[in-house]
Amino acid sequence: MKRYLPLFLISFFLIILALTGTTYLAGYAGKENRNSLTTIMVYTTLPIEQVSALAQEYERVAKVRVNIAPFNEKELLNKLVEESSKPQADLILANRKTLKQARSNALLIPYQSEYTDIIPSRFQDNDGYWTGVWYDPIIFASNQDYLKKALKKPTKWSDLPLDSKVKFGMTDFLAADAAANLLYTLVAANGEEQTFSFLKKLHPQIVQYAKFLATPARMASMGEVDIAIAVHSEAMRYAKDGFPVEIIYPEDGTAYLLTGVGLVRGAAYASEAKQFIDWLTQEGAHFAMEHHKFYFVPTNPETRLHREYATKNIQLIDHHDMYLPEQQRKLLDKWVQAVRLGIQ
């Protein structure tokens, strides 16, 4: 028996070596396979966690890697201009204002398909330079304890109980595009005089002009305010998590922030980028966002989520072509002076 012991030990060693080598090679092969994936570059103004949710799901289903480069609006446009002779980005994912500026600077090329054709015209560029994929409306987020004792549920802007003890929360118009967009929309719908009269009456009841879009919805959910003028996505997050907050969609119309996607002129991987654009309009992309607790309204009327929100009869007010950047700055300045500071 002792004669065969060395042979047994050598055989055992060779078996262990073979198993270890196989495991290593399998892992190496998997790593090499992922590194060999086609990669598209997305420049975006959105929070990185939102785009990461989409990138992870798209890599899983399409075997295409999505790299993300986050910028603010000015940085993104400057970057595209700097790289225009040799673009590094394949597409941009941003709000309507940024997409329109990119088009006006000849940084995008048109792309239309059977998938983008489904999107209503109000949510996309007339010539196909960009396509809206979801939007986030401004809503009333009301604390349920307040609603139980309220004489009337506010279903319109004119229903908001001004000159009362009702506490409100909203995001500072200077803090976020979605908040500023509400100011422009109210002026477009009701006129400057009526809008500023409304905001002046509302001002004494504002508990806090928040710096972040999430704060007003949180305050209503925690009972710190009775009604929050908030973005739908943040209010829905608290409602889904079981907080005592009810979302009310203004019957007389509301502002919304549209997010869309555009193909960069000279994109190195234009074909793959086009496929990603198509995917962003479809069910899988919106499921991925919902799974990660990003509750936006899809622009594609054929998706399940869009049909669900259609039952809410959300009335949107379009104003985006009415005010130039200089006019928007003047409205913001007037709000600061006449409402926040109370200077006539």
Cα 85 from chain centroid (whole Å): 30
What CATH number belongs to 137-255+318-340? 3.40.190.10
Q: Is the pLDDT of residue 344 over 80?
A: no
Strand (E) positions, 46-147? 64-70, 91-95, 108-109, 131-143
Domain with CATH 3.40.190.10 in the chain: 38-135+257-310, 137-255+318-340
- pLDDT for 303: 95
Closest listed residue to residue 206, CA positions, set 168, 160, 158, 243: 168
In single-letter form, the type of residue at position 106 comes to: A
Model pTM score: 0.87
37's tokens: 């994936």
Instruction: State the CATH class of domain 38-135+257-310.
Output: alpha beta
What is the pLDDT of the chain when averaged over all its residues? 90
Half-sphere exposure of 122 (CA within 13 A, CB side): 14
Percent of the chain with pLDDT over 70: 89
- pLDDT for 37: 85
* Measured distance CA(100)–CA(161) in Å, rounded: 37
| Pick from 28-42, 55-69, 87-101, 259-273: least confident | 28-42
Q: What is the mean pLDDT of residues 170-188?
A: 94
29, with CB counted inside 10 A (0-12, 13-18, 19+), is: exposed
Give the three-state DSSP class for 340. helix
pLDDT digits (tens, 9 = 90+) for 62-113: 999 999 999 999 999 999 999 999 999 999 999 999 999 999 999 999 999 9
Give the three-state DSSP class for 275. helix
- pLDDT for 19: 43
Q: Is the pLDDT of residue 231 over 70?
A: yes
